[in-house]
């Protein structure tokens, strides 16, 4: 079965609004989670990561929330811009693995920013 | 901004032919990876490579696949006898600490 999956394939938001992209995972052994952004014709681009000993981590305009109780991960993007339009993937790996080792990716959510 | 580069960007090959996909990881990185993404599907892990040997591989990475770091800068993925189902985007990635970096991918089409 699928260990990591996304609830919504497409999310459309108005420019300037905040967006929330969700992800569910099923592997309790996962302890490292990453959000990637993939623009058309490019490879996945690292956005932000979080380890299971945290429940929130903030970056520039992005926040990742981790709820281990319900095995749920979300990516919040504040004040969306046209350049945020892309497919967003969550990915996980299990304890002891770092970097991009053995990541399990979700299917992706296509974020569309409307003017 | 450091970047991983991959060549070629596109490759078309006949079924049964060998292909070599090339990657130049970020220069001070020590861990290297290959992933693939079949059109419309998820990105899938193939293999990780560290200290000149495979450290982990998935079920997809069978005997038809091999990886090599022939010199200090290149990291290659060889598919010995391509099958139609090998058609996909192949991404190389590298890491030592902090963010992992993916290359732009090679689109492989097997006819």
CATH number of the CATH domain containing A57:
2.60.40.10
Domains in chain B (CATH in brackets) are 5-106 (2.60.40.10)
Residues of A in contact with B39 (CB under 8 A): none
Residues of A in contact with B93 (CB under 8 A): 43, 99-100
Residues of A in contact with B97 (CB under 8 A): 98-99
Domain that holds residue A105: 4-114
Q: In this predicted model, what pLDDT tens digit does every residue of B27-61 receive, in sequence order?
A: 989 999 999 999 888 899 999 999 999 999 999 99
Q: Mean of the per-residue pLDDT values for chain A?
A: 88
Q: In this predicted model, what pLDDT tens digit does every residue of B61-98 receive, in sequence order?
A: 999 999 999 887 899 999 999 999 999 999 999 999 88
Q: What is the model's pLDDT at position A95?
A: 63
Q: What is the model's pLDDT at position A59?
A: 95
Using CA atoms, how far apart are residues B3 and B102, in angstroms rounded to an integer? 8
Residues of A in contact with B105 (CB under 8 A): 42-43
For residue B87, give the nearest of B20, B24, B12, B7 by alpha carbon.
B12
Q: What is the model's pLDDT at position B79?
A: 98
Using CA atoms, how far apart are residues A90 and B48, in angstroms rounded to an integer? 19
Is B104 near chain A, with CB under 8 Å? yes
Is A27 near chain B, with CB under 8 Å? no
Q: What is the model's pLDDT at position A3?
A: 45
Of A89, A102, A107, the CB nearest to B45: A102
Average pLDDT on B13-27 reads: 97
- With CA atoms as reference, the chain A residue closest to B10 would be A41
Mutate to test the interface with A, among B43, B89, B90, B92 (most CBs of A within 10 A): B43
Q: Per-residue pLDDT for A2 more than 70?
A: no
DSSP conformational letter for A52: T
Q: In this predicted model, what pLDDT tens digit does every residue of A16-41 receive, in sequence order?
A: 999 999 999 888 889 999 999 999 88
Let me know: does B111 contact B12? Beta carbons within 8 Å: yes
For the CA atoms of chain A, what is the radius of gyration? 13
Report the domain count for chain A. 1
Q: Per-residue pLDDT for A1 more than 60?
A: no
């Amino acid at each position: 079965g699928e260990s990591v999956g996304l609830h919504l394939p497409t999310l459309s938001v108005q420019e300037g609004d905040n967006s929330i992209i969700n992800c569910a995972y099923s592997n309790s052994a996962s302890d490292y989670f990453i959000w990637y952004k993939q623009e058309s014709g490019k490879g996945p681009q690292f956005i932000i990561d979080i380890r299971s000993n945290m429940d929130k981590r903030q970056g520039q305009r992005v926040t990742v929330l981790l709820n281990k109780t319900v095995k749920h991960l979300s990516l919040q993007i504040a004040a969306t811009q046209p350049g945020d339009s892309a497919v967003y993937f969550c990915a996980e790996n299990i304890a002891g693995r770092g970097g991009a080792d053995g990541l399990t990716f979700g299917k992706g959510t296509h974020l569309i920013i409307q003017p | 901004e450091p970047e991983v580069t991959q060549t070629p960007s596109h490759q078309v090959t006949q079924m049964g032919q060998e292909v070599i996909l090339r990657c130049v990881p970020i220069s001070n990185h020590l861990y290297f990876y290959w992933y693939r993404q079949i059109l419309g599907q998820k990105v899938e892990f193939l293999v990780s490579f560290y200290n000149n040997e495979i450290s982990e591989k998935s079920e997809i990475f069978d005997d038809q696949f091999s990886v090599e770091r022939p010199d200090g800068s290149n990291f290659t993925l060889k598919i010995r006898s391509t099958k139609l189902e090998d058609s996909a985007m192949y991404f190389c990635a590298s890491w030592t600490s902090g963010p992992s970096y993916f290359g732009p991918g090679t689109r492989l089409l097997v006819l």
